[in-house]
Structure 1
Amino acid sequence: MKTATFRRATAAAACAVAFAASTVLSGSAMATTAATPSTPVVFPAVEGQLMSYVVNAKVANANKTKEVVKAVEAAGGVAVQQWPEIGVVIVQSESANFRSDILKYGYSTVESVGATRTIPVAEGTPAGIPVPWQKAMAPRSKQLAKSDLLYGDATFDGVAADPRETEQWDMVQIKADQAHQLTDGSRNVLVGVLDSGIDPNHPDLKANIDVAASVNCTNAGRPDTSPTGWNPTTSSHGTHVAGIIGAARNGVGIVGVAPNVRMASVKVVNDAGSIYPEYAICGFMWAGMKGMDVTNNSYYIDPLEFWCNDQPDQAAVRVAVERAVNWSTKQGVVHAAAAGNSSYDLSNKTTDNASPNDSTPIARGINNQCKDIPTELDGVVTVSSTDQAGKLSSFSNRGLNSIAVAAPGSRILSTLPNNSYGLLSGTSMASPHVAGVLALMKSQHPGWAPKKLISELQKQAQNHICMPSATPVGAACVGTLDNNSYYGEGISDALAAVL
């Protein structure tokens, strides 16, 4: 069973849920001094086993991408998905020499190549793509990711007959209850929920799901627009996240931060709980192509918690993901992401014991040039988690100039599949609060671009002193009232966002 994809807490809170985090500041604030090289991670390639790769063109345009595809075929691979807008091709191959051969055949057009998994492709090759291999793929057993368990003594609750806003302390902490006196958000705003799918029939969500903008990206990274492809299968995570962002004000259950905005289900989590690079790239590209305004990303990209630029495979994956994030940002999409549940200091990286999480993890040395993606990419809002007392949640990652803002993430009541409600904890729950605040802000200021939205989000955040964590997290809070390692520039403020 996986133990890392959904951002996890420490052993004491092992059931916390959250997907990776990202940052507004951390990308540019990373240390630039010479770093100790990271420990290599082996991405094996065995002849006859179907593996997945990203291939990055030197120049991002349609013609160069076509040339890359020709080189892919010459090297014994097939192009599963082409993204000419960013010069990235998702490739599958059974050749053990594919990485070396693509650099040989594509010497004039290929910038880099990187494996995306340490195990064979379980879902096989999408239908309709001619391949030189025709082997039936063994079906992958479905299982709940560990992160989908409930936190502590939380339990699934039955369908509520009456509104439960009085139980939503989180909305009070970010002043969403006061913001709702002014606006519930605009139907013109679309939030992409990059997650495990949203229950299409939940009474608190159904009216706000934009079916036409929803997609499944777990078909080897190729967009699947089938009517039910984006529905949840083994995980309740995405449904819970969606409720925090946009549960409707309809006299039933709870109310989201932005209860009148639309949401798109962008499924990037497979049935085993993995979010591979090709899935996330598809999700970011889809968000930009569909004109989304905000995305929420409560995950880190598997199979590594930290991707290091001094390792060829890892560096190539980072380039491909960065291109997708940057392209979608240029299309007007602003991204919020969870900081992670490892009680880790993102500004002082030394070790990683959880990677690779799709095979056998190793204890490896890392440095500050290794990034949690999409967590630490420029232009992504990294969100840490608070509890009801306003303290940093014991499981939350932290880091001076790595955290943008904080939001509630401990024992959050939200929607669950099968018309139910329940409590989950994690920075996965904190990030959608901020995505909701960004959606409210975009509703009030439709002309604001991502950079402006982020600067105002941080400027308006409620400054917060360095309160001790609920339980020791391994490092004291450092910084100032305006910017510290626990809260970034403060707790997100929904009321200020709509004034």
Structure 2
Amino acid sequence: MRRFRTIAATSAFALALTALAAAPASAFTTGTSGESGEQEYVVLFTAGTSSAAAKAAVTAAGGTIVSENTDVGVATVRTTDAGFEAQALAQGAIEGTAQNRIIADVPDDAVSGEEAKKIDEAEAETRAGGGATPAAPAAAAKGKGAALTAEPLAPLQWDMQQIGATVDGSYKVEPGSKKVLVGILDTGVDGTHPDIAPNFDNAKSRNFTVDIPYDANGDVIDGPCEDEADGSCTDAANVDEDGHGTHVASTIGSPINGIGIAGVAPNVTLVNLRAGQDSGYFFLQPSIDALTYAGKIGVDVVNMSYYLDPWLFNCASNPADSLEDQQEQQTIVKAMQRALDYARVRGVTLVSAAGNGATDYTKVLSDSSSPDFADVEGEVAYPRDLLDPATCISMPSEGKGVISVSSTGVSKRKAYYSDYGNGYIDVAAPGGDVYDTPTNTRDIGKAILAAYPKALALESGAIDEAGNVLVDGVVKSCDAAGTTCGYYQYLQGTSMASPHATGVAALIVSKYGIPDVIRGGKYLPAAIVDARLRQTAVDTACPTPAAFTYTRITPAGATITATHTCEGNLKQNGFYGNGIISALKAVGK
């Protein structure tokens, strides 16, 4: 997935999920549509460059600054000069450039009608349908003071049981603090969902993206802006037309409110920091702006379940890439790392999904998916083999200071799709594995259940106008009075594992954080949160033998096998890092 290709566990026709939306434009808005022959670039300035010197350098190179993020020395620049890149790199004040992805002006006769969204093989097979286990009656448990009662769908949350985030586990020790802010860098969050709204901070939420209708090949990306409800290319901060960001937010912080599920940290505050397009692409400038904003407003933890497009692996000097593409990839890594550093030094703990490519990131790599976005007509992905993992990295998961999370199934095995690697994986968390069954056949209930936007469920045909569920993999839950109902879907992926770790990190800040006298709320250095998360993770050894063979029998009857080799020891290895996270141990038990 571009957002690490989340593997949907719903029926095929139930998940014709499209775009998404988020907040009112922020102070970091990028450009809108470009004139014919006009290009936009993200320009990285040399450290210490003044704003005046930066402007002068851009002007000398033939460009105009559209917006500037002075916190990390990055600007969005527009130009009609075909020689801009070379001229920019000749300026001492400019360290690098990368093409920015903006609204494309595509002639009507060039529009192909094809969608540029990607669905990988694992996602496609999990969309083939399959039954979901019905909810059992909710259990009750005694807490400190008032009794805590499990949510109606808690029996379906094997993931929370795996990490001890239950009413008789971490919830009664530390359910999280409203003073702790968790940022969701994703495709948006449905802030009106009844199992998100009580914890959603609409005022602090932002959308850092602008819709991209088509790419240069005429393929549909986010779709025509006039098709949006408001007819614009800028979406609101409490909308999610994709469902991915809402699912992530729900796993982190759905409240205990008598509806649906509870998240890992049911009392924390959720902030939508939208960095992803409706179509699931994630580009450099929105991610940078979201991270610097998070650092400014006092966000404590951010979840990043995606990789930066258009390159799965950003290589410094891969011979298969042109010099221009090499330079762009270098710029992406440097600029993103600046933003990660900016946020982390201000107390933002950085958590990222490891990826769903079933790949050992510490071995020689290959990539046939990049570049996955056409900036110029005719541009397509091409094979990139023998990639050196020391010089080809995926961002943000391989960024310095970022906690990379692999995915486990219900049996605690590493999920069949999860990327891995000794030294790459920091911790593991439940992300679902629908083939983690005694018969190696598919069971949707072995994926992760979390909130699903009602508007999207209606649009995709998952429910009817009366609110009745029509497909497998979608669950409805109502309050005791039956007047307020929410919808939930099963998804699997490292995108689902990462928010479990994010939730535990938020609990750590809630439990051990001190008052933030500058920005309000709580504060705990990211290094301390990181260390506590790792130290309290449950040591999990490599399988025996270490070369583990996965067998999957698809709904069509095909048998697929793959072998992944785990390297390392009990304390640290390529499948689990420092272990499977534990919400209960992290807060002191």
Q: TM-score range by the shorter chain?
A: 0.7 to 0.9
Letter in 2 for 1:461: A
Letter in 2 for 1:278: Q
Bigger drift between 142-151 and 301-310 goes to 142-151
**Residues 20-64 of structure 1: CA deviation (Å, up to 9, x unaligned):** xxxxxxxxxxxxxxxxxxxxxxxxxx9943333221221246xx1
- SS in structure 1 at match of 2:572: coil
In the aligned structure 2, how far is the partner of 1:14 from the partner of 1:364? 33
Quote how far apart the aligned CAs of 1:466 are.
1.3
Residues 344-423 of structure 1 aligned to structure 2 (within 5 Å): 344-359=359-374, 360-365=380-385, 366-368=387-389, 369-410=391-432, 411-418=447-454, 419-423=486-490
- SS in structure 2 at match of 1:354: coil
**Structure 1 168/13 Cα, relative in aligned 2: closer, same or farther at 3 Å?**
closer
Quote how far apart the aligned CAs of 1:301 are.
0.4
Match for residue 287 of structure 1 among 283, 288, 294:
294
| Rg larger in structure | 2
Residue 225 of structure 2: aligned partner: none
**Structure 1 152/459 Cα, relative in aligned 2: closer, same or farther at 3 Å?**
farther
**Structure 1 278/284 Cα, relative in aligned 2: closer, same or farther at 3 Å?**
same
The alignment status of 1:305 with 2:309, answered yes or no, reads: no
* Percent identity (aligned): 35
Residue 49 of structure 1: aligned partner: 37
**Structure 1 458/14 Cα, relative in aligned 2: closer, same or farther at 3 Å?**
farther
In the aligned structure 2, how far is the partner of 1:399 from the partner of 1:140? 40
Residues 48-127 of structure 1 aligned to structure 2 (within 5 Å): 48-60=36-48, 64-104=50-90, 107-116=91-100, 121-122=102-103
Match for residue 272 of structure 1 among 267, 272, 279:
279
In the aligned structure 1, how far is the partner of 2:208 from the partner of 2:418? 28
**Residues 427-451 of structure 1: CA deviation (Å, up to 9, x unaligned):** 0000000000000000001143101
**Residues 362-400 of structure 1: CA deviation (Å, up to 9, x unaligned):** 101321111100010111000000000100100000000
Residues 1-400 of structure 1 aligned to structure 2 (within 5 Å): 4-8=1-5, 48-60=36-48, 64-104=50-90, 107-116=91-100, 121-122=102-103, 145-146=117-118, 151=127, 153=129, 163-177=152-166, 178-219=169-210, 229-310=236-317, 311-359=326-374, 360-365=380-385, 366-368=387-389, 369-400=391-422
In the aligned structure 2, how far is the partner of 1:261 from the partner of 1:469? 39
Letter in 2 for 1:325: L
**Structure 1 84/270 Cα, relative in aligned 2: closer, same or farther at 3 Å?**
same
Letter in 2 for 1:235: D
Q: Which runs of 5+ in 2 are unaligned?
A: 16-33, 138-150, 213-232, 318-325, 375-379, 433-446, 455-485, 515-523, 552-560
In the aligned structure 2, how far is the partner of 1:188 from the partner of 1:216? 22
In the aligned structure 2, how far is the partner of 1:464 from the partner of 1:443? 26
Q: Which runs of 5+ in 1 are unaligned?
A: 17-45, 125-134
**Structure 1 384/464 Cα, relative in aligned 2: closer, same or farther at 3 Å?**
same
Quote how far apart the aligned CAs of 1:152 are.
5.0
In the aligned structure 1, how far is the partner of 2:197 from the partner of 2:334? 36
Letter in 2 for 1:243: S
TM-score (norm 1): 0.82
Quote how far apart the aligned CAs of 1:12 are.
12
1:299–1:337 Cα contact (<8 Å) kept? yes
**Residues 141-166 of structure 1: CA deviation (Å, up to 9, x unaligned):** 89794559865535799999971111
The alignment status of 1:432 with 2:499, answered yes or no, reads: yes
Quote how far apart the aligned CAs of 1:72 are.
1.8
In the aligned structure 2, how far is the partner of 1:479 from the partner of 1:486? 9
Letter in 2 for 1:494: A
Quote how far apart the aligned CAs of 1:498 are.
0.7
In the aligned structure 2, how far is the partner of 1:379 from the partner of 1:329? 7
In the aligned structure 1, how far is the partner of 2:406 from the partner of 2:549? 12
**Residues 338-376 of structure 1: CA deviation (Å, up to 9, x unaligned):** 000000111113211111111311101321111100010
The alignment status of 1:444 with 2:428, answered yes or no, reads: no
Residue 569 of structure 2: aligned partner: 480
In the aligned structure 2, how far is the partner of 1:152 from the partner of 1:490? 32
Residue 128 of structure 1: aligned partner: none
Residue 23 of structure 1: aligned partner: none
1:197–1:231 Cα contact (<8 Å) kept? yes
CA RMSD of aligned residues (A): 3.2
Quote how far apart the aligned CAs of 1:14 are.
12
In the aligned structure 2, how far is the partner of 1:154 from the partner of 1:49? 49
Residue 539 of structure 2: aligned partner: 463
